[in-house]
Structure 1
Amino acid sequence: MGVDFSCAPDARKPITVAWGERRGAVLRLERLDALPSLDAFEALVAPTHERAAEGWLGGFDFPFGLPRMFVDALVAHRLPEAAPKAGQPACDALVRALHAHCTDRQGFQALIDGWGTQWGAGTRPDKLPHRAADVALPGTQSTSPLQTRYVPVGKMYFEGLHRLVAADVALPGLREPAARTTPAPVLRLGFEAYPGLLATEVLGKRSYKSDDKARQDPDRLMARLTLIDALEQGRTRLGLRLKLSPAQRDHLASDAKGDRLDAVLCLLQAGWADVQREAGDARCGMPPAVDPVEGWILSA
């Protein structure tokens, strides 16, 4: 599955989930779901969800980590409990400490805003730092996970990752599920995905979406159609072809906000990870050495 996430979903701007099934190099889109609340997202990733019995592999469009520079300063000057204890995944320790300290995403924003003034004097650079993965993307750069305004990526981290951890989802390279049974349970595998990675590969700097109705113009519609054509024909470095029905194609193209298409782009990245898994890579394409505090963007 591919998930276009929102930190504050509602009926107007839901979390969009693209479900698909891969056979060889063909990834067929099964359906698109709209989740109007974070509670619905929790149900999606829970071990009790209807799809959990089959197992799933998901690409999620939110950060799975924070810049190392920020976390080191945080542990040293403000939140020592964010450091992992022996045997504890770093991502678990960090996100749980942040939730205990900040309570909500506005509190997390205030914590970031206070870096360098209220705490950690002299440790904050002039610009919000990026993670290694944010600047490892061919032709593009993702937003810093510390950005909580404009594009509220930091709030997406705050609301998204702790729900995956609470649901005990395996995050290859970052955490294994705590619950172990015999025989081994069917795994739910989660990865950080980034729609801009494939979109930039196909379109360059052309924009294909906008939340602003005044900017939802024919040029962006043509860009979406161009992108869909490339995905159907397998013209990306992932080596997968997207299979759509005519109705699904129209449904993707007609979404001027691009949420449906972004979920499908995440789905394709998840499909690529599944190819790596099938070939025997237990990390599903993740690099051999990932900073457990920062995480990594799938296929970067």
Structure 2
Amino acid sequence: MCKNNQTKVTEVHLLGFQGLDNFKPLFFTILLLVYIAIETGNFIIILLVSTNCHLKLPMFTFLQHLALADALLATCVIPMMAEVILNTKGQISVVGCILQMYFYFNFGFVQCFLLAVMSYDRYVAVCNPLHYNLLMDRRMCFLLGYGCWVTTWSLSSSEFILIAQFQFCDSNTIDDFFCDFGPVAELATSDTSIVQWIDFTYSVLVLFCALTFIIGTYIYIVMVIRKISSSVGRQKSFSTCSAHLTSVGEYYGSLIKIYVTPSNEMLPNLNKYSSLLYIVVTPLINPIIYSLRNQEIRQALKKMFKKF
């Protein structure tokens, strides 16, 4: 509880990007166009997989889940970011701030699980192709795909039950364009040590254990590909994994840039621009990666555009 001489905070002030007064209209326009591109690109992926019988394969089913997570991640942050750019006040209620952080965590973590599941799918396809249809049947795809969402929501819900009990008194300013866990925990006046420990544990379990699993599967995939005598066969096997590998590299590269490398306190805006790599660039690039590097997606796109 706040002390007698303290005021309970009900709204949070997001500072956003400071020092860009002359460029706010341009920045807002670019952000709006990028957001439209993100939603359009990911919606097309979802639509193609849903309506094209040739894409009713495990890899594309998981890609559909990934596109949905990308679209929702962008939606829970970018509209608020646009409002902060146009409105210097950048006000959001404490409840709204916690909800934004909750959905941001969920959609981010589910991406991590999905990338791990997709690496397992590529492992089975390359290393055990004769049993692929048996191992990755419709039931297994359903369990793996929706299991990523259920696991993520179960983990984050337990943490955010505690976060919802945070008290905020007097200070209400966050030097960022959205509600992330670190700035919110610093703003809280109640004891956050337990929640910070839980958040660290979940981050290690979800992010680094998933990355270790992905690396392990690809080490085994490379070992199997090297045993293929035909260079054409090796190239074909590797091409089935190239889009996923690019997506994994882009996803974890942006996360490492944001949360692992030291932040620059002298250039706070630079740290915010780094966050854009994950929040804006990742959902934008994933549809492009799979459209350019996957022949089935390209063919489905051509058929769709011919109808128009």
Q: Name the structure where strand makes up a greater proportion of residues.
A: 1
| TM-score strictly above 0.5 | no
Structure whose CA Rg is larger: 2
Higher helix residue share: 2
The alignment's TM-score, normalised by the length of structure 2, stands at 0.26
- Length-normalised TM-score, structure 1: 0.26
